[in-house]
């Protein structure tokens, strides 16, 4: 008399070990880069045995081991690249700040020495994107949009707020008065109506920061929508801000558009 038992192979054990390692690594990397950490989590989810089994049973879809290997390597590489880029940018920004504080102090001293001369506003230099955190939070926490924001762990000493909504996530990094990075991440699925609303969230985010960016963002969204099986990345500098858009397609799992705004 025999019993049904699941055969445990060395590859099955390795999938468990590496998927858990990648998922927890991604959670840790989110402290530095939310998007980079999320992509690393996806690399672990692809080989996570329970999720693989659920997708195969529900959607009759299964990736062979070779495709899984390449998908994990590519996603992990993208995630690490995004994390390193975010860390390098924030480190450079922090190195520049003391110089700007000295410049502001010198401008203040000159004003005190010559009180009859008006202060020159163009002497003050900002490292941010010239938009406040509370302004964006107030707009997106409106019931019509329905985002909810929480303070996360600081990123290289900078305050970090993350908002979640029905169509994606928003991350705001920097001081309350002037952010050094603002990004929105939306998810595209099979529902056309939901995709249109997600696109409106994307365009609305861009418009709030700079109205001149809307046409370009909509053009990029149309390019992505024409063939949502191809990854896409582009950037454009507008009004001393760098707008970067990227699209990541993961067959059978997720379609993610990320718009990031940084100072140049």
Q: Where are the alpha helices (DSSP H) in 148-213?
A: 192-209
Q: Cα dist. 209→15, 135, 178, 251 in Å? A: 43, 10, 12, 32
For residues 183 and 258, is the Cβ–Cβ distance under 8 A?
A: yes
Tell me the backbone φ, ψ of residue 262, rounded to 5 degrees.
-135, 160
CA–CA distance, 262 with 264 (Å, rounded to integer): 6
Q: What tokens were used for 168? A: 């994606």
Question: What are 136-151's pLDDT values in tens digits?
Answer: 999 999 988 889 999 9
Q: Cα dist. 245→23, 69, 114, 203 in Å? A: 25, 27, 47, 12
For residues 257 and 186, is the Cβ–Cβ distance under 8 A?
A: yes
Question: What are 11-27's pLDDT values in tens digits?
Answer: 778 778 878 888 888 88
Q: Nearest to residue 252, comparing CAs of 10, 67, 114?
A: 67
| pTM (2 d.p.) | 0.54
Q: Coil, strand, or helix at residue 260?
A: strand
Per-residue pLDDT at 99 = 47
Per-residue pLDDT at 97 = 47
């Amino acid at each position: 008399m025999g019993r049904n038992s699941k055969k445990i192979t060395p590859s099955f054990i390795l999938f468990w070990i590496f998927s858990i390692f990648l998922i927890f690594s991604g959670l840790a990397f989110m402290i530095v880069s939310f998007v980079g950490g999320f992509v690393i989590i996806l690399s672990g989810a692809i080989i996570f045995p329970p999720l693989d089994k659920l997708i195969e049973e529900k959607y009759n879809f299964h990736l062979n081991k070779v495709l899984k290997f390449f998908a994990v390597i590519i996603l992990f590489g993208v995630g690490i690249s995004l994390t390193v880029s975010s860390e390098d940018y924030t480190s450079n920004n922090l190195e520049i700040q003391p110089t700007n504080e000295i410049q502001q102090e010198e401008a203040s001293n000159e004003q005190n020495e010559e009180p009859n001369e008006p202060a020159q506003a163009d002497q003050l230099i900002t490292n941010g994107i010239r938009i406040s955190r509370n302004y964006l939070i107030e707009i997106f926490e409106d019931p019509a949009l329905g985002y909810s924001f929480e303070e996360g762990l600081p990123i290289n000493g900078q305050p970090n707020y993350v908002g979640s909504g029905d169509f994606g996530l928003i991350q705001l990094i920097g001081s309350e008065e002037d952010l050094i990075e603002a990004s929105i991440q939306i998810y595209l699925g099979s529902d056309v109506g939901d995709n249109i609303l997600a696109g409106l969230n994307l365009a609305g985010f861009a418009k709030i920061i700079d109205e001149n960016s809307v046409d370009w963002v909509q053009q990029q969204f149309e390019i992505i929508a024409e063939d949502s099986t191809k990854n896409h990345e582009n950037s454009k500098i507008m009004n001393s801000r760098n707008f970067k858009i990227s699209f990541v397609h993961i067959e059978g799992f997720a379609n993610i558009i990320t718009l990031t705004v940084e100072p140049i």
